[in-house]
Every structure is written in C-alpha cells, then in structure tokens.
Chains A and B, each alone.
Chain A
Amino acid sequence: MADVTMRVWRGDSTGGDFADYTMPAVEGEVVLDVLHRIQAGPAPDLACRWNCKAGKCGSCSAEINGMPRLMCMTRMDELPTEEPVVVAPMKTFPIIRDLVTDVSFNYVMARQLPPLKPRAPEADGTYRMQQVDVERGQEFRKCIECFLCQNVCHVIRDHEENKPNYAGPRLFIRYMELESHPLDTNDRRELLRQRMGIGLCNITKCCTEVCPEHIKITDNAIIPLKERVVDSSYDPIAWLGRKILRRTKRGAVEVAQDAPAFTAPTSEDRLERQTLPVMVGTAVGAGNPSTAASAGPGAGPAEAAGGTGPTAAGDPFGTDAGA
C-alpha cells in the first residue's frame, strides 16, 4: 500500500517547526492512529492528547490541513494523500508541547458561570419535566468539550485581548442550556451582556461548522441568547412592561456572585490570581493560591527558558533548577 506523510508541528513555547513522518498507509485508520504509530516508531515523545478514540471525550482536538477537527474522527481516506497531511496544534490556546495546548482558558470561563438554581421540587422531592422541555437542553449537553469552537472563534483566535471578556461558543451553549432550563430560576442575561461578551460574537458560524457533535451552536444557542438579551436590554416594549409591572431584572453582579470564580475567598487570593497565569496542570479551583503559583512556572514561561524542558540529568523535582 501507499505511504502517507504526516507533517506534524513539533515544538513548545520557545518555538517549533513542522516535522515530516512518512508511514505506510493502513486501511480504515484515522489521523490519531497514524500519530500513535509515529509515537511507537520514529518519535516516541510526540505529544498529543487523547482518551477515548471514539469522538466522545473531546481530547484530541487539533488542526488538520488547517481545519479544527478531532484527530480520532478524521479518517485518513477522506484526506488528500498526494501532499502531506498537516497537523498543527489548536491556535487559540498557548502551546505546551507539540499538539498539546493549554486549554485552561475554557475552564476558567466555566468557573465564572453561575450554576443551575433549581426551583423547589415536587412534594416527593423529585421533579417533573416533559420530554419537550428537556430536548432543547439535551442538544447542548451533547457537548464533549473538545474546545474546537472556542479555538475557531475569531473573537479570541485573532484578538487575544478579548479573552478576559468572552465566554466563547462552548460556554454560550451552556448559558443557553441554563437560561432555557425548565427548572432554572436564575437570570444570567445581564452577565452575558456585560461580561461574557455575547455582543462580541458576530454570528459568523464557524463554531457550528467545526462542532464534531453537530450542535447548532449559532442558531440554537447564540442567536436565541442574543434575542433573550434583546428582551432584557434592547426591547423598549419589554422595558416599558418592566416599568409598569415594577419588575427588576436580576443584575449582573448578583448573578455573577453565584459562580465560584467570582467569589474569591480572601483578598490575598485575589491578589495572587491577578498576577499569575492559570495553566493546565494547575488547580482550576478557587482557594489555594499556591497551586496556581507552583505549577505555573513549569507549565508556562519558565519551562520555555529551558528549551527542551527538564531532563533526567537535572534536578529531579523541579523544572527550574534543572533546566
């Protein structure tokens, strides 16, 4: 059988380049299979994330021939083989090594999300919901958190400075799930408008295009959210109605404080967090500042200074001294 050439990005935060690996083609393989054969052969330290290899965990996100995709769900026989298959890490997130990126941005934004606030249950302590009530939310709960939508979204892909104020498509579907949840009593619209960047999205639909779960992110979540924000903020009739009925909309501050990330426990913690990057390998948690502090250097810039990272020859524990 013919050979396939994989052009894989190798490198870390100090820089990198594509490396070509030519492997024999095998019937029925996906891109991840070929990478595994490269690991078992010419490049045992080729870094890539993967878990289930069946498109259910969303770990193996990368950019294949320029398109953000899951490596485990991209069959080799659907890619042109006359030229090398280019595999690059997700662009929007900082690189850790090779195809592995620091996706902690998404976890930080998830912590800023005010969770479900269910209404009181029935007398027997359980809830009644009809199938039609849960179906809309179920579509969003299919999300496997591969973060391809976050990666492809130009709001943060091309404009890094928007990250602190943009939840991104993955979180928008979560907001929509909660906002339309039949049991929920919270109102996150002001938070969405003021802090989570619903207005930054210009509905160019790339998130929907790359979603491996085929969730209609734009049509079923982002646009409905925008419409709900119109209800609360841009609708003169609704505004009048609120005035007449003396209803107040729940403010962003109040709602935000339902989320753990917004209720920093101590002032020191807050200080620490403002100066430290939150990286993969560190706690996503609130609370202990030392977690963010101690793992940070390894996962990020300090490692960069060392180039290849720590080796056995260096200090066994740390990364700093050895590198």
Chain B
Amino acid sequence: MADGLTAGPGAGELETHDFDVVVIGAGGAGLRAAVEAKERGLRTALVCKSLLGKAHTVMAEGGAAAAMGNVWSEDNWQVHFRDTMRGGKMLNNWRMAQLHAQESPDRIHELERWGALFDRTPDGRILQRDFGGHRYARLAHVGDRTGLELIRTLQQRAVSMGIEVFMECKILRLHKDSEGRVSAAVGYWRPTGSFVAFTGKAFVLATGSIGKSWKYTSNSWESTGDGHAMALWAGADMIDMECVQFHPTGMVWPLSVRGILVTEGVRGDGGVLRNSEGRRFMFDYIPPMFAAETADSEAEGDRWYDDHTNNRRPPELLPRDEVARSINSEVKAGRGSPHGGVFLDIASRRSAEYIRRRLPSMYHQFKELAGVDITAEAMEVGPTCHYVMGGIRVNADTEATTVPGLFACGEVAGGMHGSNRLGGNSLSDLLVFGRRAGMAAADYAEGRTGTPTVDAAESRKVVDEALAPFARDGGESPYDIHRDLQETMQSLVGIIRTESELVQAASELDKLAERAGAVAVSGGRAYNPGWNLATDLPSMLAVSRLVTTGALARRESRGGHTRDDYPKPDPEFGKVNLVQRFDEQGRLTLTPEPLPQMPPELAALFEEPAASPAPAPGKEGH
C-alpha cells in the first residue's frame, strides 16, 4: 500500500470525504435520490450500512401503486389520492398524497427504461394487481418480488452512472455549521471500525424503518431508526411517530422466523382469512367507513375476483390496520391457530400452478422455512411490526426537513401515509419522493455558499461516545438490552395500546436508557456485531421514546394507532399532527400542530357519495 495514501486516517485525523450531496441509506428512496442528484452533475455519495442492494426494500413483495390505468382505465390520480387519504384516515399531508398519486406512474415507467421487467397485460403494458384499500387493481408488480426488482433496477442505474457507494458504513451523527446548516455526517466503517466523516452541501436521509425495536417485525436488523434519531438530534421536527403499522400477515411459526412478511398479494390473489372454527371472520369486522364498498357475503366476495363490476371487494382486502386489529381480536378471543395466529388459506381456493406462478417466493418461503406447502395447506399468520407512518416532518414538494441542508425521503419521512399506509404505496413513495429529495438537495447544494467542514471537537465527542463501551468493564451486553427493549415495545407499545401500559413503557425506556449508558462490549472494532449493536441502541431508544410519547398523547384510535381506552377516532385529533422536537433547553417536547389545509377542489373529492361498484373494467390482466 502506498504510504502517502494512508495519511488520511492517520493519527488523530479523521478520514473525510467531501461531496455536494450525501445520501444516507441505499434503499429505494436513497438510490432514487442519489440517481437524481447525480443526473444533475453533482458529486454524489451514497452511504449505506450494509452491502449495496441488501436494503430492506428487497423485502417489499406485492407491488408499487401507481394509477396508470392499464387494467382499469377508470383509474386516475384523483382516485388514488382519495384511496390514500382515506386509508390514512385523513391524517396524511394532502400535498404529499397528491404528488404521490400524480407522479408515481411516471416513476414506474422510468424504471422500465432503466431495465425493470414488470409483469405485463395482454396488450403489452404493465400489469397491475389488486391490493387492500386500493379501489382499482393498481400495483405494478413482478410476481411477489417487486421490491427486489425495484432496488435492483435503481442499483444498476446508480452503478451505471458511476455514483460512489460507501458500503457497510454506519453514520452516527449529523453535524451543523455555525449557521445551523447540516455540513457533515460522522460514522464508522463496519469492516474496520475506523471512523469517517462525509462533508456535503446537502444531506438526504433515506434510512428507512424503526421496526427492530419490536420483537416480532418484518424488518431487518438495519431498521433501527438511525435517520429518525439523527434528524431528531439535529433539531428536526418529528410528526405522528405513534403511527406504526402492524402488517396483518406475518409468519408466526417457526418461532425463529416469526414476523417475516407474508405478502398482501396472497389475499389480492384470492387468499382468505379463517379462524380456528373455519369461519371467514373478516365479515364480522367491516367498519362503517368501508361498509358501502365491501362485500357482506362470502358469495359476493368470491365473485368479486372475476367480476369487479357487479360485486364489492371481500373484507380481507380492507386496509391493513383493520385486518391486523381483527386478527388480533380473533386470537384474543381464543379462536386463533395453534401457534397464535389465524389461517390464511389460498390452497383451497386456487390451483397449485396458479399459486406457484403468482406467489413464487411465498411458496418457497413457507416450503423452506416452515415446511408448509401453501398449495396444499393454509398458512398461519399474525400481525407483525412493519412500517412507521410517522417520521421526519418535511416540505411536501422538496422533502426539506426543518433543519437547513437536511432532506428526508422514504419511510424516514412522515406525512405521506397519515395514520395508516396502503399496501403498495410505499414503493411508489420511495420513487416519487426520492426523486424530489434528490432534486431539492441538488438545488440546495448548488445554492449553498462556503465549504462545509467537520468540527474536530464535535466529531471527537461522537467518536468517544461510540467507543465508550469498549472501555467499560463488567457492563451489560448490548444483546440483553436490545432483547428487553423489544419485549417492552412488543408488549406495551404494540398493536393495541392503553394508557397504563404506555406509562409503564415510558418508565421502562428510562431504565433501558440508563442500562444502555453502561453497555460494554468485548473484542476488536473490526466487524464486531456486538459493538455495532451497541451503537444502534441510542437510535432505537430514541425512536421508541418518540413512539411511546406520541402514543400517550394521541388519545384516540386512528389507523395504525389503536388505544384500548379510546377506541374511537376523535375528530379533534384528526386535525393535528403531533410534533415532537427538542426545544432550546434540550428537552423533548410534544405539540399538536394543525394539518395543512386541503384546497377545496381536492376536498370535494371526499364529499361525493361512496361510489357504486366499479364500472366496467378496462383490460383485465389475469
């Protein structure tokens, strides 16, 4: 190795890379943002915690929602917008929902230009599939591995553009300059444990989810809420963090795979939910808001798959929050499956050949992990922590956070999905707002004056804090603290919440924070998962705190947030975002702030009487 080149990370000096735009997180949103910034000719860095292409986006299965109207020509952005808002129980940022509905078709077509191979309609367009909460078949998909297709396409696009990718690098903190603009991100290389800083004119956070604080989650180890926490610490506003989506169908057995996702596509393609008595219990749980468009008999629900025109959709395809709650109630009532879930049955309803073609990865997942042949038997499923609707407050058009120079897109940003996300809206969210964040970050970087630098004292603090666990003797194992955090969040801040449990959770989090302060790790710094986990704990604790505080404050049930003690939605809460931020004294505060007001022409979309069953289909794809 040439000597001159090792001088960078030499004694006491922090390895530093300078860019115009630094994107943190290389899932769909991060990749899309980086592609956009790079296309503008800016020096763009993409930093990710794992290898490129392993981000949680690969786990998305069903599809990307976009009102392209390929299967139902009646579909348009207004309908998609309305579905999204209603699914989110009107807590969404209307402007984001509008942009999302308007722009997602273009974003999908763009992927095709970059090499994506979606399933097709008979006339050669992109095929779209039915999903919960979407009025028309709207999800562009590739079997049940759409997320993989999306991330691979974006990854290959990014690589072909020559974007610099920094893999296996965990960012710990964001630094601001004297004017309050974010100017650097400090982190470490996981393979070596040596520290590194990225200076940039604009930063885009695209770090995804927070699910790893729950015991049963569909999220991977990466989903520790780093971006949420970093933004919070940097002074950003966080909204509606209590709105956490529990996906109704995660695997429940074997225990080691509990929580792994079972795509909603199973239900979209004809799968039904049954309790231990064999009853399709979802018919007992149709909420008034959706009663007009939901079938009230099994016969009608079954006819719907072939004839959307004269029938209403089966209740299995209600929005996720409704289905998850219903499953939860069934299990609580003692009508669950042997391993504490309910049965998802497609075997008795579709041919083996159809199931294998439409749901190949579900077939393999159950076959190889659970030894269950889903073409012959029912799956056991139960709710699993899946997605956080809340997140960093952003400007709807630019994804700018309240901190200058910091942008956020994808799951880490809040507002788009209100209190509950519709399936399929996430992938299109990544594309639409990833692009917008990339554009706005590029604009900001081009307009920014001065050279961003790393503050030596501040970065020293970050490094010392990160390394502290090595110096402690006899401290607690990070794995123990993580396990207890997951138990706490799962049992006290889970799918159904209540005041006393949330208060208890808050005090448990205090204790956990204290324990995390005394965590100790052994071994070296190079690829040490124990130490890596220890550095993830502060983020996980911070987001758990945000969720718990928000859940305590929102005294109503809405979307993904269900309070046992306030089982009804409260119109007053429906008008506000619960905003959490650090005040000048460094205290975490929570303020209800009014939602942005929808313009009358959009508001009018919700005044029409619930439409009668869908009109004649365009081209039916399957």
CA distance A57 to B261 in the complex (A): 14
B59/A52 in contact, CB under 8 A = yes
Residues of B within 8 A of A116 (CB): 114-115
A317's contact among B13, B261, B480, by CB below 8 Å, is which?
B13
Interface residue total, chain A, C-beta cutoff 8 A: 101
Assess the A280–B54 pair: CB atoms within 8 A: no
**A51 and B56 within 8 A (CB):** yes
Q: Give a binary string over A249-266; 1 marks a CB under 8 Å from any B CB, 0 the rest.
A: 000000000011001000
Name B13's contact: one of A297, A308, A318 (CB within 8 Å).
A318
- Smallest beta-carbon distance A207→chain B, Å: 19
Residues in chain A near residue B261, CB distance under 8 A = 54
B374 to chain A, nearest CB (A): 15
B527 at the interface (CB under 8 A from A): yes
Q: In angstroms, how far is the closest chain B Cβ from the Cβ of A45?
A: 3
A15 lies within 8 A of chain B by Cβ: no
A203 at interface by CB-CB < 8 Å: no
Given known contacts A283-B164, A316-B464, A317-B194, A296 and B1 CB-to-CB distance under 8 angstroms: yes
B85 to chain A, nearest CB (A): 27
Are B463 and A317 within 8 A (Cβ)? yes
Answer whether residue A302 sits at the interface, using C-beta atoms and an 8 A cutoff: yes
Contact with A44, one of B11, B190, B529 (Cβ below 8 angstroms): B529
Q: Are A73 and B369 in contact (CB under 8 A)?
A: yes
Contact B191 A260 (CB under 8 A): no
Residues from chain B with a CB closer than 8 A to the CB of A29 are: 254, 256
Separation of A99 and B368 alpha carbons in the complex (Å): 23
Closest CB in chain A relative to B510 CB, distance in Å? 24
Which single member of A131, A276, A319 contacts B1 (CB below 8 Å)? A276
Could you tell me the distance in whole angstroms from the C-beta of A14 to the nearest C-beta in chain B? Answer: 11
B192's partner among A52, A276, A287, A319 (CB-CB below 8 A) is A319
Compute how far the CA of A71 lies from the CA of B109 in the bound complex, rounded to whole angstroms: 36
**Using Cβ atoms and an 8 Å threshold, which residues of chain A touch B55?**
51
Whether A26 sits at the interface, judged by CB under 8 Å, is yes
With A130-B120, A291-B17 already in contact, the answer to whether A28 and B370 are too (CB < 8 A) is yes
Evaluate contact between A57 and B193: CB separation under 8 angstroms.
Answer: no
Query: Which residues of B (154-207) have their CB < 8 Å from a CB of A?
Result: 156-157, 159-169, 189-196
Q: How far is the CB of A87 from chain B (nearest CB, A)?
A: 15
- Contact of B112 with A96 in the complex, beta carbons under 8 Å: no
- Give Cα distance in the complex from A257 to B82, angstroms: 47
For residue A125, CB closer than 8 A to chain B, the reply is: yes
Q: Which of B144-152, B303-311, B558-566 contacts A (4 or more CB under 8 A)?
A: B144-152
Q: Tell yes or no: B526 within 8 A of A by CB.
A: yes
B191:A96 contact, CB within 8 angstroms: yes
**Interface assignment of B292: CB less than 8 Å from any CB of chain A:** no
Q: Is the CB of B522 within 8 A of A45?
A: yes
Q: Does B387 contact A (CB under 8 A)?
A: no
User: CA–CA, A316 to B479, complex, Å?
Assistant: 24
Asked if B191 and A298 sit within 8 Å, CB to CB, the answer is: yes
Say whether A178 faces chain B, with CB atoms less than 8 Å apart: yes
Q: Are B13 and A282 in touch, CB under 8 angstroms? A: no
With A47-B529, A317-B9 as given contacts, are A28 and B256 in contact (CB-CB < 8 Å)? yes
Q: Is A142 an interface residue (CB 8 A)?
A: yes
- CB-defined interface of A186-212 with B at 8 Å, one 1/0 digit per residue? 000000000000000000000000000
Cβ of B142 within 8 Å of any chain A Cβ, yes or no, is: yes
CA distance A141 to B348 in the complex (A): 30
**Which residues in chain A, 4-33, are within 8 Å of chain B measured between CB atoms?**
12, 26-30, 33
Is A245 positioned at the interface, with any CB of B under 8 Å from its CB? no
**Which residue of chain B has its CB nearest to the CB of A41?**
B479
Residue with the greatest number of chain B CB neighbours at <10 A, chosen from A133, A259, A295, A310: A295
Alpha-carbon gap, A293 to B9, bound state (A): 10
User: Do A115 and B9 touch (CB < 8 A)?
Assistant: no
Interface membership of A152, Cβ < 8 A: no
> Out of B120, B196, B526, which one reaches A309, CB within 8 Å?
B526
Q: Please tell me which one of the listed residues B14, B194, B254 contacts residue A28 in the complex, with CB atoms under 8 A apart.
A: B254
What's the least CB distance linking A29 to chain B, in Å?
A: 5
Assuming A111-B159, A311-B525, A317-B9, is B368 touching A55 (CB within 8 A)? Answer: yes
Q: Which residues of B contact A96 (CB under 8 A)?
A: 191, 526-527
Within A281-323, which residues are at the interface with B (CB < 8 Å)?
Answer: 281-288, 290-291, 293-303, 308-313, 315-321
Q: A39-B479, A310-B194 given as contacts; is B53 within 8 A of A145 (CB)?
A: yes
Are A50 and B221 in contact, with the CB atoms below 8 A? yes
Which of B14, B477, B530 gathers the greatest number of chain A CB atoms within 10 Å? B530
Contact of B407 with A by CB under 8 A: no
Instruction: Check A275 for interface membership: any CB of B closer than 8 A.
Output: yes
B528 interfacial by beta-carbon distance below 8 Å = yes
Kindly supply a per-residue 1/0 record for chain A positions 113-131, scoring 1 wherever the CB is within 8 Å of any chain B CB and 0 otherwise: 1011010010001111111
Question: What residues on A are CB-neighbors of B169 within 8 Å?
Answer: 281
**Does A56 belong to the interface (CB within 8 Å)?**
yes
Q: In the complex, A143→B53 CA distance in Å?
A: 11
Q: Do the beta carbons of B117 and A134 come within 8 Å of each other?
A: yes
Q: Are A52 and B56 in contact (CB under 8 A)?
A: yes
Q: A138-B143, A320-B9, A321-B11 are in contact. Are A260 and B195 (CB under 8 A)?
A: no
Distance between A100 CB and nearest chain B CB, rounded to angstroms: 5
Q: Is the CB of A55 within 8 A of B256?
A: no
- Does A144 belong to the interface (CB within 8 Å)? yes
Instruction: Report yes or no: A318 in contact with B194, Cβ–Cβ below 8 A.
Output: yes
State whether B142 touches A48 (Cβ < 8 A).
Answer: no
Known: A50-B221, A55-B368, A141-B117. A45 touches B51 (CB 8 A): no
Closest to B38 in A: A285
Closest to B125 in A: A128
Asked if A318 contacts B124 (CB within 8 A), the reply is: no
B120 close to A134 (CB less than 8 A): yes
- B438-466 at interface with A (beta carbon < 8 Å): 460, 463-464
- Do residues A51 and B220 form an inter-chain contact, with CB atoms below 8 A? yes
Tell me whether A48 and B59 are in contact in the complex, defined as CB-CB below 8 angstroms, given that A28-B255, A126-B112, A321-B11 are known contacts.
no
Which of A30, A58, A97, A143 is the one whose CB lies under 8 Å from B527? Answer: A97
Q: Which 9 pairs show the lowest CB-CB distances between chains A and B?
A: A28-B254, A285-B164, A312-B470, A298-B192, A45-B523, A128-B124, A309-B526, A44-B530, A309-B524
Identify 9 new A-B residue pairs, CB closer than 8 A, beyond the known A44-B522, A121-B113.
A30-B257, A40-B479, A44-B530, A48-B529, A97-B191, A107-B167, A129-B124, A178-B115, A287-B164
21 contacting pairs across A/B (C-beta < 8 A): A27-B254, A40-B477, A40-B483, A54-B369, A56-B58, A118-B113, A131-B122, A134-B118, A141-B142, A142-B145, A260-B160, A263-B162, A281-B168, A287-B162, A290-B5, A294-B9, A297-B5, A298-B191, A317-B14, A319-B526, A320-B9
